[in-house]
C-alpha cells in the first residue's frame, strides 16, 4: 500500500512539472522556457501542422515526431497522455480550421477529440526501451482509426498529405497513407536518436524508411493499356464561400453551360464538377436535363455532370451522371462517403438546438457502389469530392476496372485555398496509390490533371472560369500492391511494432532489475 501511494504521488508531481517546473541547471531564462515540456509539445505540434498543406513544409514532420519522441522518453502515463494531447491539439486546430465554415462547434469538438486520440495513443507507448517501434505502430493505428471512425471516417491531417510532396511519395503505391506515415515517424525517431548520438538506432530507423522507398520504386505501378483519350474539364468559376441555400442554383449551372462553349468538338469526354446541376427531382426529367442532352449532342462528346436531386423533404441524392454524344443518359454513380455536418448531420436533433442555421437542411442518401462509371468507351473510377480523402474509394473503382480516376468536387463553400490545397495533395496520393491518371474538377477551383507519379498539370486558380484540354491521356490497367491489399498490411505491421516495442520494454526492465556484480559479492564486516 505504501509503495502504491508513493508511485501515485510521483505521477501527480510529474504531471504538474509539465506545467510549472523549470530546470535549475539552465542559467538563461530563454533556455529554461524552451526546455519546458509544454513548450516543446507546442513546438512539436506546430512542426507537424507546418508540414501539411497549405504550408507544406514537409521536412517539419520529422522535427515534430522527434520532439514527440523526446517528450515521451521517461514520462509517466499521465504525462504521455497530456503531452501527446497537446501535440495533437496544436496539430489539428490550425489544419482543420476549414471545418468551422460548416459548423464552428463541430470544429472545436473535432479538434479536441482528434488531438486527444493522439494523447490516448501515447499512453500505449512505453517510455523507455522499445519506444520507437511502438510510436510508429501507435501513430499508424491512430491514423487508421480516423480513416474509419467516427461518422464513417474523418481522414484529415494525415502525415502522408504533407509527405506526398517529399521523397517518400512512392511508398503510397505499396502501402498507402499508413505506410507513408510509418516511414515519416521512423525518420523522426532517427532524428531524435541522432540528437542523442545513438548511431545504431539512428541508422536502423532511417534505413527502415529508405528500404520502404526502395521497395516502392520496383513495385508494380500500373501499365499503359495503349489507349489514349482526349479530355476537357470545365470549371465554371464564381465566388467562394457560398452555400446552396443562399445561392441561385440556376446561376451555377449557367456558368458551366457558358464555359462549356469553349470545349473543342469531338473530345472523348467532357468532365463537369460535383453539384452543378441541382433539381427538385430526377435531373433526367428536368429542363436542365434536356439542356444537357442538347449540349452533349452539339459537342459530339460524352458529358459527365454532378447532380443534386431531391428525393424527399429530408433526403437528397448526390451523384455523377453521364450523357453520351447522342444525348442519352447512360450511367450514374451515387456517392458513398458523405461529409459529416455537410451532407448529413449526426445527432441532428441535438445539434440543431445549438446551430440550426449552419446545418444542411437535408441528408444525402448513401450508396454501396464501386464508383465505376463508363464515360464514352472509358472505364472511370469515380471518387466524388470528400471521397478522394479515402484511399479505399479510389481503390474500389480501380478494382472494378477503372482505367482513369475522376474526382468531381465542390469546394465553393470554403473561402481561400485551405481545403483546395489539401484536396490536391489527396488527389496526388490517390493517383500514386492506384497507378492511374487522375482528373480533379471543381466549380471554383482547384481543378487539375495529376499523373500516376503525382505530378500536377494545368491546375486552375480559384474563382476563375476555365476549360482545360489534355490530349492523349494514357489509360492504364494493372494493380499496385496498395490497390490489391489496401491498408490491412500496414495495420498488421503497426500491431506487430507495438507488441515489439512493449516486448523490448519488458526486456529492458528485467535487465535493469538484475542485481549488479557488487551486490552479489559478499562484503566484509567492518
For strand 269-271 and strand 223-235, is the pairing parallel, antiparallel, or unpaired?
A: parallel
Print the domain residue range for 142: 2-220+488-509
Cell 490497367 locates to 477
135-139, 432-436, 517-521: segment of lowest average pLDDT: 517-521
Which pLDDT band, with edges at 50, 70 and 90, does 245 fall under? low
| Domain annotation covers residue 444 | yes
The answer to whether residues 297 and 179 belong to one domain is no
The answer to whether residues 384 and 494 belong to one domain is no
The answer to whether residues 26 and 105 belong to one domain is yes
101-105, 174-178, 515-519: segment of lowest average pLDDT: 515-519
- Residue 241 vs residue 26, higher pLDDT: 241
pLDDT value at 514 more than 90? no
The answer to whether residues 388 and 493 belong to one domain is no
| Domain annotation covers residue 332 | yes
Cis link prior to 54 (omega < 30° from 0)? yes
Cis link prior to 446 (omega < 30° from 0)? yes
| Domain annotation covers residue 517 | no
Cell of 259: 464555359
CB 184 within 8 A of CB 123: no
Rounded to whole angstroms, the Cα distance separating 71 from 341 reads: 35
* Crossing angle for the helix pair 37-50 and 2-20, to the nearest 10 degrees: 60
CB 384 within 8 A of CB 318: yes
The answer to whether residues 295 and 335 belong to one domain is yes
| Domain annotation covers residue 483 | no
Q: Using alpha carbons, select from 174, 177, 148, 143 the residue that is nearest to residue 160.
A: 177
Which pLDDT band, with edges at 50, 70 and 90, does 246 fall under? low
Torsion from C-alpha of 422, 424, 425, 426, nearest 10 degrees? 90
For residue range 347-393, list pLDDT tens digits in order: 887 777 766 666 678 999 999 999 999 999 999 999 999 999 999 99
CB 254 within 8 A of CB 465: no
Mean pLDDT of 260-269: 96
The answer to whether residues 10 and 107 belong to one domain is yes
Rounded to whole angstroms, the Cα distance separating 143 from 368 reads: 24
Cell of 62: 520529422
Rounded to whole angstroms, the Cα distance separating 215 from 227 reads: 29
| Domain annotation covers residue 284 | yes
| Domain annotation covers residue 523 | no
Rounded to whole angstroms, the Cα distance separating 253 from 519 reads: 84
The answer to whether residues 188 and 234 belong to one domain is no
CB 263 within 8 A of CB 234: yes
Q: Using alpha carbons, select from 262, 323, 265 the residue that is nearest to residue 289.
A: 323
47-51, 212-216, 360-364, 514-518: segment of lowest average pLDDT: 514-518
Which pLDDT band, with edges at 50, 70 and 90, does 467 fall under? very high
pLDDT value at 1 more than 80? no
The answer to whether residues 239 and 152 belong to one domain is no
| Domain annotation covers residue 519 | no
Q: In which order are the strands placed within the sheet that holds 378-382?
A: 372-375, 378-382, 404-408, 438-441, 448-450, 456-457
The answer to whether residues 137 and 60 belong to one domain is yes
Rounded to whole angstroms, the Cα distance separating 287 from 299 reads: 19
For residue range 322-344, list pLDDT tens digits in order: 999 999 999 999 999 999 988 98
Mean pLDDT of 303-311: 97
CB atoms within 10 A of CB 496: 12
CATH number of the domain to which 337 belongs = 3.60.110.10
The answer to whether residues 281 and 321 belong to one domain is yes
Cell of 125: 507507448
Mean pLDDT of 243-261: 87
Rounded to whole angstroms, the Cα distance separating 296 from 66 reads: 55
11-20, 25-34, 262-271: segment of lowest average pLDDT: 11-20
Rounded to whole angstroms, the Cα distance separating 193 from 211 reads: 19
The answer to whether residues 401 and 265 belong to one domain is yes
3-state secondary structure 174-191: HHHHHHHHHHHHHHHHHH
The number of angstroms, rounded, from the C-alpha of 89 to the middle of its chain's C-alpha atoms is 17
The answer to whether residues 374 and 428 belong to one domain is yes
Cell of 347: 445527432
Which pLDDT value is given to residue 112? 97
Which pLDDT value is given to residue 17? 46
Check residue 416 and report its DSSP letter.
T
How many separate domains does the chain show?
Answer: 2
72: Cβ–Cβ under 8 A, 6 or more apart, which residues? 80, 83, 84, 122, 125, 127, 131, 135
| Domain annotation covers residue 161 | yes
Domain boundary among 437, 456, 477: 477
The rounded mean pLDDT for the chain is 91
Which pLDDT value is given to residue 195? 94
Which pLDDT value is given to residue 28? 63
pTM for the model stands at 0.91
Cell of 362: 437535408
pLDDT value at 487 more than 70? yes
pLDDT value at 6 more than 50? no
Amino acid at each position: 500500500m505504501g509503495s502504491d501511494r508513493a508511485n501515485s504521488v510521483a505521477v501527480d508531481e510529474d504531471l504538474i512539472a509539465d506545467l510549472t517546473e523549470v530546470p535549475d541547471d539552465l542559467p538563461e531564462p530563454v533556455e529554461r522556457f524552451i526546455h519546458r515540456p509544454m513548450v516543446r509539445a507546442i513546438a512539436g505540434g506546430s512542426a507537424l501542422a507546418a508540414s501539411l498543406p497549405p504550408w507544406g513544409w514537409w521536412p517539419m514532420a520529422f522535427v515534430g515526431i522527434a520532439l514527440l519522441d523526446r517528450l515521451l522518453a521517461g514520462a509517466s502515463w499521465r504525462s504521455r497522455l497530456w503531452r501527446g494531447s497537446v501535440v495533437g491539439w496544436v496539430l489539428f486546430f490550425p489544419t482543420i480550421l476549414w471545418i468551422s465554415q460548416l459548423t464552428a462547434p463541430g470544429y472545436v469538438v473535432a479538434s479536441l477529440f482528434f488531438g486527444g486520440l493522439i494523447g490516448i495513443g501515447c499512453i500505449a507507448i512505453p517510455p523507455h526501451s522499445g519506444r520507437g517501434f511502438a510510436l510508429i505502430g501507435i501513430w499508424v493505428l491512430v491514423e487508421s482509426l480516423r480513416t474509419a471512425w467516427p461518422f464513417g471516417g474523418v481522414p484529415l491531417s494525415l502525415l502522408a498529405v504533407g509527405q506526398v510532396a517529399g521523397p517518400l511519395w512512392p511508398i503510397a503505391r505499396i502501402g498507402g497513407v499508413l505506410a507513408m506515415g510509418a516511414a515519416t515517424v521512423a525518420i523522426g525517431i532517427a532524428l531524435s536518436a541522432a540528437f542523442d548520438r545513438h548511431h545504431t538506432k539512428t541508422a536502423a530507423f532511417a534505413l527502415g524508411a529508405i528500404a520502404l522507398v526502395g521497395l516502392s520504386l520496383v513495385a508494380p505501378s500500373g501499365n499503359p493499356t495503349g489507349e489514349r483519350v482526349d479530355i476537357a474539364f470545365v470549371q465554371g468559376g464564381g465566388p467562394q464561400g457560398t452555400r446552396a441555400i443562399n445561392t441561385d442554383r440556376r446561376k451555377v449551372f449557367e456558368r458551366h453551360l457558358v464555359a462549356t462553349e469553349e470545349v473543342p468538338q469531338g473530345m472523348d469526354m467532357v468532365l463537369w464538377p460535383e453539384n452543378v446541376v441541382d433539381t427538385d427531382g430526377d435531373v433526367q426529367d428536368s429542363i436542365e436535363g434536356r439542356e444537357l442532352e442538347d449540349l452533349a449532342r452539339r459537342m459530339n462528346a460524352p458529358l459527365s455532370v454532378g447532380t443534386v436531386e431531391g428525393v424527399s423533404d429530408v433526403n437528397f441524392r448526390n451523384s455523377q451522371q453521364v450523357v453520351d454524344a447522342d444525348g442519352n443518359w447512360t450511367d450514374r454513380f451515387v456517392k458513398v462517403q458523405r461529409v459529416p455536418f455537410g451532407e448529413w448531420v449526426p445527432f441532428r436533433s441535438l445539434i440543431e438546438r445549438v446551430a440550426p442555421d449552419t446545418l444542411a437542411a437535408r441528408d444525402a442518401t448513401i450508396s454501396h457502389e464501386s464508383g465505376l462509371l463508363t464515360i464514352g468507351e472509358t472505364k472511370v473510377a469515380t471518387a466524388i469530392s470528400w471521397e478522394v480523402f479515402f484511399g479505399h474509394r479510389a481503390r474500389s473503382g480501380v478494382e472494378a476496372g477503372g482505367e482513369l480516376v475522376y474526382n468531381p468536387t465542390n469546394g465553393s463553400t470554403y473561402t481561400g485555398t485551405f481545403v483546395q490545397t489539401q484536396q490536391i495533395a489527396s488527389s496526388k496520393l490517390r493517383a500514386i496509390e492506384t497507378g492511374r491518371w487522375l482528373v480533379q474538377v471543381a466549380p471554383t477551383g482547384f481543378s487539375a490533371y495529376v499523373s500516376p507519379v503525382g505530378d500536377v498539370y494545368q491546375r486552375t486558380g480559384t474563382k476563375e472560369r476555365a476549360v482545360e484540354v489534355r490530349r492523349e491521356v494514357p489509360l492504364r490497367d494493372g494493380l499496385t500492391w496498395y490497390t490489391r491489399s489496401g491498408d490491412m498490411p500496414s495495420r498488421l505491421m503497426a500491431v506487430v511494432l507495438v507488441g515489439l516495442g512493449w516486448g523490448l520494454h519488458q526486456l529492458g526492465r528485467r535487465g535493469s532489475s538484475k542485481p549488479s556484480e557488487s551486490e552479489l559479492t559478499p562484503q566484509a564486516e567492518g
